Amino acid sequence: MRKGTYVTDITHFLDETGNIPVSLPKPASRLASFFAIIIDETTRTASEVFNDIELTCAAEDCTGSILSRFESETDDIIWNCPDCGSNGVIRNW
């Protein structure tokens, strides 16, 4: 994935059963899986404080660890990589 800001509606990556379709092109499938792990790890604690979820950043040439938090007012998940600056918000999870 390229370094940058990602505003993600996770439902755009899912089929009618809520799964990542096997027919999804590989780059999109990898990105969807990355976002799914962020969702899984962040919702385990639902912390509104950034936590290291021990997920390596997916940006090219980056080995940083993703930080994420839950935003209770909007139900969004906010994430970032302090090493490369990649960041984003995940909605509708």
pLDDT digits (tens, 9 = 90+) for 49-88: 999 999 999 999 999 999 999 999 999 999 999 999 999 9
- Looking at the DSSP assignment, which residues form a beta bridge with residue 68? 51, 79
Confidence band of 46 (pLDDT split at 50, 70, 90): confident
Q: 13 with 93: CB under 8 angstroms? A: no
